């Protein structure tokens, strides 16, 4: 979603901001722009489309020591040059960039128009620049505070003022902002990836916090204008983790990183000899863990699918009732949080607004929420009562892959931990943790077979309207497989519980319908096999993901088969998803799609 980058210091801000915006491209955007203060004016360049469109209009000699840049993902107003950020005040002396939504902008805009202001864009954001101009009293810092009081909604805002060119004003309410501390230079961005090449020392702003950022210092205050001391954190990701290396896309790189990212997710957390797990970050005493009566999982998209897998695994291994809800639905319910419930907010980015707000609602009801997140220091882990970092490393491609498999590991570990406090004995525990430790090698085995999947993908590239079917632990994988395919190839795909097809979706099946069956060798195999015969009888084109043991049986019916290694059936989802990630990738590649930045999508969904 929209990206924000600001710089003040001794170097030329233009390449730093443009490079920072490129580092945020993966979040999704449809226009970009930059404003810098240059002697007696604010120079602004903005353009619809990719960042190189905007770069192409930048004068070669353009330079400045203070500037702000933005990638916009349209909400209010179409995709156009005029709606791109930054937005200038009417007199051109103030420039702002904004992430989020100003909910009362219609009313504010109307008043400003009545007072004679003429707006240039259709956005909600432009009113901020105009209000700043109207309120300006010779002290930009004070003006900024006053203006914030008039804004309703969610925002991350950066503002610069020509008459006071030595600082950037910044405010956060609902949209992430991080200050990067350099030597005689400061950065500010909506995502630390924007400036990781320059500094790893960061300060995370919380909601209702403001900062005045100068070259050598920053001053932080809350919305009551009381000074606050912020902790400086060190980010441990390095820039190389953000490079594509020899891979043609980040998505492919991230798929292939999974043996390693999965290993990192359980590293140091397994106690082999007694078959259990330690998850210190949960911040729960053994007694509190023992007393858990119910688990509640909230998440969106792929993280929701990981939560679904988690619910099967927790109920099976720990015998604790578990419900999973889509955060955007949950947040507007009046949810019943029973005593003894522990909640998980699952999020790769840690910034998804629906998950964050659902989490806050649970906390308001007095219950604890644990995060299962990837991005260290992001808002959800900061505001949660504890949790598990999955340590996948930066996930750049919009389509989530390695974060999903690491989220599964987090649930496997949690279920084993709680299970061992209940019905699971030591030997069963040892079996489980030993199997978890073998998963990276099994994933590697599937990846070694990628050429075969690439060949199969050719045939499926010519088809459309895919059905993904699975039962039990393969049902969330069916959903995730379908999501991957539609996100990056724009082909229609639907994930359905295999047992449900007779209740409707079977009507879709004809000789042109590709049906992907996810059917590891578990207790539901025979049931899914019957569904496969029903599809065959109607002429559907069948691709099956299965184990070697069942290949012979399936080959008589399916058109294509992808074999995955054997595992404990409880962990099958982590293996069955890998060929589906690869299949989607190769289909999208054959179709020439923009795989890492699919149309209309954003990596981090920070608006409702």
Mark residues 547-586: x for contact with ligand M6R by CB under 6 A, - for none: ----------------------------------------
Can you tell me which residue has the tokens 């806050």?
360
The binder of ligand M6R chosen from 220, 302, 322, 531 (CB under 6 A): 302
Nearest approach, Cβ of residue 512 and ligand M6R (Å): 27
Rounded Cα distance, 159 and 70, in Å: 12
> Both tokens of residue 519?
């059917």
The binder of ligand M6R chosen from 347, 384, 513, 528 (CB under 6 A): 347
Nearest approach, Cβ of residue 118 and ligand M6R (Å): 38
> Interaction with ligand M6R in 308-337: which residues (CB under 6 A)?
none
Our finding on whether 343 is near ligand M6R (CB under 6 A) is no
Are 519 and 550 contacting, i.e. CB atoms less than 8 angstroms apart?
yes
Please identify, among the stretches 300-308, 470-478, 521-529, 540-548, the one whose residues bind ligand M6R according to the rule CB under 6 A: 300-308
Q: Which of 50, 134, 589, 603 is catalytic?
A: 603
DSSP string covering 258-311: HHHHHHHHHTTTEEGGGTEE--GGG---HHHHHT--EEEEEE-HHHHHHHHHHH
Please identify, among the stretches 178-186, 247-255, 260-268, 301-309, the one whose residues bind ligand M6R according to the rule CB under 6 A: 301-309
Are 209 and 222 contacting, i.e. CB atoms less than 8 angstroms apart?
yes
| Cβ-based neighbour number of residue 422 at 10 Å | 12
Rounded Cα distance, 497 and 508, in Å: 15
Our finding on whether 32 is near ligand M6R (CB under 6 A) is no
Verify whether residue 161 is a known catalytic residue: no
Phi/psi of residue 554, nearest 5 degrees:
-75, -35
Task: Please state whether beta strands 178-181 and 185-189 pair in parallel, antiparallel, or not at all (unpaired).
Answer: antiparallel
Are 433 and 275 contacting, i.e. CB atoms less than 8 angstroms apart?
yes
Rg (CA), the chain: 26
Burial of 462 (0-12, 13-18, 19+ CB in 10 A): exposed
Q: Which of 2, 161, 300, 546 is catalytic?
A: 2
Choose between 415 and 488: whose C-beta lies nearer to ligand M6R: 488
| Cβ-based neighbour number of residue 301 at 10 Å | 24
The binder of ligand M6R chosen from 112, 314, 399, 447 (CB under 6 A): 399
> Both tokens of residue 255?
């798929």
Nearest approach, Cβ of residue 100 and ligand M6R (Å): 17
Choose between 289 and 601: whose C-beta lies nearer to ligand M6R: 601
Our finding on whether 348 is near ligand M6R (CB under 6 A) is yes
Nearest approach, Cβ of residue 568 and ligand M6R (Å): 26
Choose between 199 and 604: whose C-beta lies nearer to ligand M6R: 604
The binder of ligand M6R chosen from 303, 311, 474, 489 (CB under 6 A): 303
Our finding on whether 352 is near ligand M6R (CB under 6 A) is yes
Our finding on whether 355 is near ligand M6R (CB under 6 A) is yes
For ligand M6R, which residue has the nearest CB? 301
Verify whether residue 368 is a known catalytic residue: no
E strand or H helix that includes residue 495? strand 493-497
Residues labelled catalytic: 2, 603
**Interface residues with ligand M6R (CB under 6 A)?**
300-303, 347-349, 352, 355, 398-400, 487, 601, 604-605
């Amino acid at each position: 979603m929209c990206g924000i980058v600001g710089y003040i210091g001794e170097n030329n801000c233009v390449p730093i901001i443009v490079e920072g915006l490129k580092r945020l491209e993966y979040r999704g955007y449809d226009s970009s722009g930059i404003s810098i203060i240059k002697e007696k004016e604010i120079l602004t360049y903005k353009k619809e489309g990719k960042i190189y469109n905007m770069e192409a209009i930048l004068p070669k000699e353009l330079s400045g020591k203070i500037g702000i840049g933005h990638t916009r993902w349209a909400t209010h107003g179409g995709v156009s040059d005029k709606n791109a950020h930054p937005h200038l005040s009417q007199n051109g002396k103030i420039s702002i960039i904004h992430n989020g939504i100003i909910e009362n902008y219609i009313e504010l805009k109307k008043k400003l128009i009545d007072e004679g202001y003429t707006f240039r864009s259709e956005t909600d954001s432009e009113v901020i620049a105009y209000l700043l101009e109207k309120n300006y009293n010779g002290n930009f810092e004070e003006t900024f505070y006053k203006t914030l009081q008039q804004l309703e909604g969610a925002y991350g805002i950066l503002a610069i003022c020509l008459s006071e060119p030595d600082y950037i004003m910044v405010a956060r309410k609902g949209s992430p902002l991080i200050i990067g501390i350099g030597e005689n230079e400061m950065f500010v961005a909506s995502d630390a990836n924007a400036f990781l090449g320059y500094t790893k020392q960061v300060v995370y702003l919380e909601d209702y916090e403001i900062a005045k950022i100068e070259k050598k210092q920053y001053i932080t205050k809350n919305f009551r204008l009381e000074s606050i001391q912020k902790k400086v954190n060190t980010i441990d990701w390095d820039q190389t983790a953000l490079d594509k290396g020899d891979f043609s896309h980040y998505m492919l790189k991230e798929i292939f990183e999974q043996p390693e990212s999965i290993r990192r997710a359980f590293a140091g957390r397994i106690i082999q000899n007694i078959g259990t797990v330690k998850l210190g970050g949960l911040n729960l005493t053994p007694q509190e863990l023992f007393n858990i009566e119910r688990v509640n999982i909230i998440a969106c998209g792929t993280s929701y699918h990981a939560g679904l897998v988690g619910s099967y695994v927790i109920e099976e291994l720990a015998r604790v009732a578990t419900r999973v809800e889509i955060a955007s639905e949950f947040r507007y319910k009046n949810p019943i949080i029973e005593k003894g419930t522990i909640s998980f907010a699952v999020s790769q980015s840690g910034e998804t607004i629906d998950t964050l707000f659902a989490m806050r609602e649970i906390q308001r009801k007095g219950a604890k929420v644990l995060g299962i997140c990837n991005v260290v220091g992001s808002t959800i882990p900061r505001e949660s009562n504890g949790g598990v970092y999955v340590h996948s490393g930066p996930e750049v491609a919009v389509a989530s892959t390695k974060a999903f498999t690491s989220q599964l590991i987090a649930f496997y570990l949690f279920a084993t931990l709680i299970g061992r406090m209940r019905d699971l004995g030591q030997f069963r525990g040892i079996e489980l943790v030993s199997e978890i430790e073998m998963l990276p090698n099994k994933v590697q085995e599937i990846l070694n077979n990628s050429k075969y999947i690439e060949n199969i993908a050719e045939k499926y590239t010519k088809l459309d309207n895919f059905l993904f079917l699975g039962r039990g632990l393969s049902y969330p994988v069916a959903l995730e497989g379908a999501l991957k395919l539609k996100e990056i190839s724009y082909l229609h795909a639907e994930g359905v519980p295999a047992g449900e097809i007779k209740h409707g979706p079977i009507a879709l099946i004809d000789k042109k319908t590709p049906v992907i069956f996810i059917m590891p060798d578990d207790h539901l195999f025979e049931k899914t096999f019957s569904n496969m015969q029903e599809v065959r009888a109607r002429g559907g084109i069948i691709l099956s993901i299965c184990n070697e043991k069942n290949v012979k049986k399936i080959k008589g019916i399916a058109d294509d088969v992808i074999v995955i290694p054997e595992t404990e059936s409880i962990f099958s989802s982590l293996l069955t998803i890998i060929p589906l990630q690869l299949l989607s990738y190769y289909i999208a590649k054959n179709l020439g799609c923009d795989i890492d930045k699919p149309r209309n999508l954003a990596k981090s969904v920070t608006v409702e």
